[in-house]
A and B are shown apart, each in its own frame.
Chain A
Amino acid sequence: MQFLRHSTWFFFISLLVLVPGVFSLFRYGLRPSVDFTGGSLLEIRLPSGSKVTREQLDELLPTDFQLATLQQSGESQYQIKGSELSVDERQNFLLALESEFEQVEILRSETIGPTLSAELLRKTLNAVILTAVLITCYVWYRFRDLRYGVCATIAMFHDSLILLGSFSLLGYFFGVEADVLFVTALLTTLSFSVHDTIVVYDRIRELRRKHPRHTYTEILDAAVTETLARSINNSVTIILMLLALSLLGGATIRWFSIALLIGAITGTYSSPFTAVPLLGIWDRLQRRRQLARKR
């Protein structure tokens, strides 16, 4: 099949997904979780059937507490997030809740100081940069050609941007937060993306050795055609797994699984339809410049 002729279409599809996400990313950013902002998070379970409202909570919480979000996380189960609460303040709040609802179970309570959250943000960025650099160098080294390294990296950034953009949109519309696990998913997406790309590139290298007479475009097309079934099948298995986890895996890892799912899908798409067409364009530009020089 002649995939490369449709390169423009593939880039167009990418843009269609990228633009809203990137727009949202610049306009609204990500919604950072307590891990990154510092503050307190409380998840409580009230006796079944009870409900709690913002106003009610405002009265029970200390006056200087800033309530950021109140989210229902299950039946009669709530997540309260806001500024940092001291141990005493938490105890008093719990007592006040108990006098109101009789039985209150604390499912989770987290308090993260400002030093640690800032540090986490820095470390996270370091990890993303380090992963990207290592992977680029690795691909460059494996294929003895900078072009491959660069194109694989661009595809990798394409995938991370799609994931970041989706979570910016999800954050804006559904209040989904980016936490430590989201970053983990982002890093995994980097490796997913390059995993698939390497499989296709490997095939390109092999075909070039086998058929030195064919044009580069023909080789690229053949490589995509031959690896497509494997790409799709592999993604189907990963996607089946992650779909099951997202739908049934429980609240703790729901958004984590969804992030991985988005990463897996875009990682699969970007290998044949971003990383390979980019190689084709690079090759064509190079050839054109060589021709111009000869004249």
Chain B
Amino acid sequence: MSSVQKRYLVIVFLTIIAASIALPEKLQLRIPGLNREISLGSPRFTRLINGEPVTVAFSFKQGLDIQGGMQVILEADMRDIAAEDRQTALESVREVLLRRVDLYGISEPVVQTAVAGESYRIVIELPGVTNEAEALELVGRTAELSFQLLRENPIDISPDATDAAQIDFSQALSLEETGLGGAQLKRATVQFDQNTGEPQVGIQFDEEGSKLFSKVTSEHTGERLAIVLDSSIIMAPNLTEPIYGGQAQISGGFTLDEAKQLSIQLNAGALPVPIALLEQRTIGASLGGESVRDSLQAGLLGILLVSLFMMLYYGWSGVLASVALTIYALLTAALYKIFGVTITVPGLAGLLLSVGMAVDANILIFERMKEEVRLGRPFMRAMELGFGRAWDSIKDANLATIMTALILINPLNLPFLNSSGLVRGFGVTLLIGVLLGLFTGVFVTRTLVRMYLREKK
């Protein structure tokens, strides 16, 4: 088998894989005349990872501007926090917000921190949320931490209660204020037990807190002290002995991650950070759907026109270029799904634009080939020369676009450049488009031309 045939097979193979990934998750096709329906869909894999089945399905990740939702940028006011604690404080704010948002029942929320110089920010994305007032109430509050005594009251179980449901468990537990809260807590840190090496969380109270804490621990030894964050109990350790001096360790067979998590939650109360709203964007779901439909329609029409133009102008080579373009489109869609590229409306525009630009490589090559033929070279030789000579220009020209796309994406999160999701979305699709365009232009088209085009007799 010649190398051209091998490459050809690689392309066919790639196309089939890409097409099956790019397929919508469920697609019903009715075959005319056969009265049968076949259903196609992108493949799903179920694999056992750590003993649990994990399903890998390929689907597009839609940006907020497509599926609708809310984006909030918050600024944390760090004036009252010592410089060395700021990072910890911000992390705690993030943790608290994520917890609240999760409890509220939002699927796939994004809560990210962004630190640039003196500004400490949190970017929150809430897909599907359109009730601004409720959502802002949810994320705008400062965390509240308190230590309360957990009382277990004996429950009267009447002899005729046969069902567990008939027993009122809410009677069983009650909380009692101790006056001890986040304000008196100085800091929580992850420590390790000196004897066992087990991770534990060390907490340190200020002067007022130390007095209160020693009072509580001495009066209520043997009882449980609940740690309450945003009015829900995160844990309730036992008070084993009176603790004086305001330093205590919470241990209980934590893993390192659990200890970290607990210290972050405690710090949210210890380092309360006021939060201000910097920016809020809400997009209703209907607007996004309409934009996607419109731009997809426009895109399909555009691709058709471009293919038509190529076929009319370059004849059979144009047909091959159009085939390469289709392969390009399939590969792009598959890559988006595999890498989970978030698709935004400007991102779609970037994709369509890159289709227009992907043709460029083909045009450069075909024009070169024509020139070489005009110079009297035999067809096959002209073709190879055309590809070889066009490659230099293609490479140089596309590097400039790649540079621009990288500036738009700002992958290093440089503080002096933009990091807005819309701009990034466009940059990412443009970059993928250019790179794939190089691949299809040079590898796919070349192989197709070598396979199918012969000198006209």
Contact status B423-A180, CB under 8 Å = yes
User: Nearest chain B CB to A61's CB is how many angstroms away?
Assistant: 17
B287 lies within 8 A of chain A by Cβ: yes
Contact status A238-B418, CB under 8 Å = no
A250 lies within 8 A of chain B by Cβ: yes
Partner of A244, one of B301, B392, B407: B301
Contacts of A135 in B (CB 8 A): 400, 403-404
Contact status A184-B284, CB under 8 Å = no
State the CA gap A184–B397 with chains docked (Å). 19
Chain B count of residues within 8 A CB distance of the other chain: 71
Contacts of A103 in B (CB 8 A): none
Contact status B278-A116, CB under 8 Å = yes
| Interface-located stretch among A6-14, A47-55, A226-234, A272-280 | A226-234
State the CA gap A156–B93 with chains docked (Å). 45
State the CA gap A123–B416 with chains docked (Å). 5
Partner of B355, one of A108, A110, A138, A241: A241
Contacts of B422 in A (CB 8 A): 180-181, 184
Contact status B283-A108, CB under 8 Å = yes
State the CA gap A238–B75 with chains docked (Å). 41
Contacts of B442 in A (CB 8 A): none
Contact with A along B27-38 (1 / 0, CB 8 A): 000000000000
Besides A206-B389, A245-B299, A252-B65, 11 other A-B contacts (C-beta < 8 A): A111-B280, A131-B403, A138-B403, A180-B423, A192-B401, A194-B400, A238-B353, A239-B356, A244-B299, A245-B349, A248-B294
B residues 259-308 in Cβ contact with A at 8 Å: 277-284, 286-287, 290-291, 293-295, 297-299, 301-303, 305-306
State the CA gap A233–B370 with chains docked (Å). 14
**Shortest 6 CB-CB distances between A and B: which pairs?**
A250-B294, A244-B302, A241-B356, A191-B404, A238-B356, A248-B298
A residues 231-289 in Cβ contact with B at 8 Å: 233-234, 236-245, 247-253, 256-257, 260
A126 lies within 8 A of chain B by Cβ: yes
A100 lies within 8 A of chain B by Cβ: no
State the CA gap A257–B405 with chains docked (Å). 17
State the CA gap A227–B282 with chains docked (Å). 47
Contact with A along B381-420 (1 / 0, CB 8 A): 0000000010011001111110111011000000011101
B residues 312-334 in Cβ contact with A at 8 Å: 313
User: Nearest chain A CB to B16's CB is how many angstroms away?
Assistant: 27
State the CA gap A146–B213 with chains docked (Å). 73
Contact status B306-A138, CB under 8 Å = no
Contact status A108-B282, CB under 8 Å = yes
A221 lies within 8 A of chain B by Cβ: no
Contact status A249-B430, CB under 8 Å = no
Contact status A253-B291, CB under 8 Å = yes
Contacts of B407 in A (CB 8 A): 127, 130-131, 134, 187
Contact with B along A133-156 (1 / 0, CB 8 A): 011001100100000000000000
State the CA gap A135–B295 with chains docked (Å). 31
Contact status B353-A112, CB under 8 Å = no
Q: Tell me whether chain B's interface is mostly helix, strand or loop, or mixed.
A: helix
A residues 169-211 in Cβ contact with B at 8 Å: 180-181, 183-184, 187-188, 190-192, 194-196, 198-199, 202-203, 206
Contact status B282-A105, CB under 8 Å = no
State the CA gap A249–B364 with chains docked (Å). 28
B132 lies within 8 A of chain A by Cβ: yes
Contact status A202-B393, CB under 8 Å = yes
Q: Which residue of A lies closest to B308 (CB)?
A: A240
A290 lies within 8 A of chain B by Cβ: no
User: Nearest chain A CB to B392's CB is how many angstroms away?
Assistant: 6
Contacts of B65 in A (CB 8 A): 252
In the complex, the number of residue pairs spanning A and B with C-beta atoms less than 8 Å apart equals 213
Contact status B73-A107, CB under 8 Å = no
The 26 listed contacts between A and B (C-beta, < 8 Å) are A90-B132, A107-B286, A109-B280, A113-B278, A116-B278, A120-B418, A131-B407, A138-B399, A138-B403, A180-B422, A181-B426, A188-B353, A188-B430, A191-B403, A191-B405, A226-B371, A233-B367, A234-B364, A236-B309, A241-B303, A241-B305, A248-B294, A248-B297, A250-B294, A251-B291, A252-B287
Contact status B305-A244, CB under 8 Å = yes
Chain A count of residues within 8 A CB distance of the other chain: 73
Contact with B along A84-109 (1 / 0, CB 8 A): 00011011000000000000011111
Contact status A252-B284, CB under 8 Å = no
Contact with A along B332-358 (1 / 0, CB 8 A): 000000000000011011001101110
User: Nearest chain A CB to B143's CB is how many angstroms away?
Assistant: 20
Contact with A along B119-139 (1 / 0, CB 8 A): 000000000001011001000
State the CA gap A5–B65 with chains docked (Å). 51
State the CA gap A38–B395 with chains docked (Å). 41
B206 lies within 8 A of chain A by Cβ: no
Contact status B400-A87, CB under 8 Å = no
Contacts of A248 in B (CB 8 A): 294, 297-298, 301
Contact status B349-A249, CB under 8 Å = yes
State the CA gap A250–B346 with chains docked (Å). 11
Contacts of B297 in A (CB 8 A): 248
B145 lies within 8 A of chain A by Cβ: no
B250 lies within 8 A of chain A by Cβ: no
State the CA gap A249–B345 with chains docked (Å). 10
Contacts of B420 in A (CB 8 A): 120, 180
Contact status A107-B284, CB under 8 Å = yes
B438 lies within 8 A of chain A by Cβ: no
User: Nearest chain A CB to B451's CB is how many angstroms away?
Assistant: 24
